[in-house]
Amino acid sequence: MATKQMKPRPTIAERNLTMVAELTQRMMRNPEILGSLPDDFELVILPDDDPELRMYNLDLLDSYGQAHRPIVFARMNTKQLAQVGIADLNLYRPIAA
């Protein structure tokens, strides 16, 4: 009896690399995006549909973020990354209180 082999789930590092690669491609295709961002910022990718990765990235910011650098949050949907031109990208820069 044949059994179907399941592909292992990508690691957190692999999932983050996929998201960064997609974001980089979007910025290269739309340079006005990069032009609207602050200099020397910290990027935090917050996938809407991957709560484990979202929390991991927020924990990284909490542990390794530098207080003097502006933060930019990128919200993306991982399930739509393979469909070129479909995935929504939302960039947010929190306003200091």
Strand order in the sheet with 42-47: 42-47, 71-76, 89-92
User: What was the pLDDT predicted at 10?
Assistant: 84
Greater confidence (28 vs 97) lies with 28
Mean pLDDT of 23-43: 86
Each residue's pLDDT tens digit, 41-96? 999 999 988 999 999 999 999 998 888 899 999 988 877 665 545 445 677 777 76
User: What was the pLDDT predicted at 35?
Assistant: 85
User: What was the pLDDT predicted at 24?
Assistant: 86
Domains of the chain in start order, with CATH, are: 12-92 (3.40.1350)
Cα–Cα dist 74/15, whole Å: 14
DSSP 20-61: HHHHHHHHHH-HHHHHTSPTTPEEEEEETT-HHHHHHHHHHH
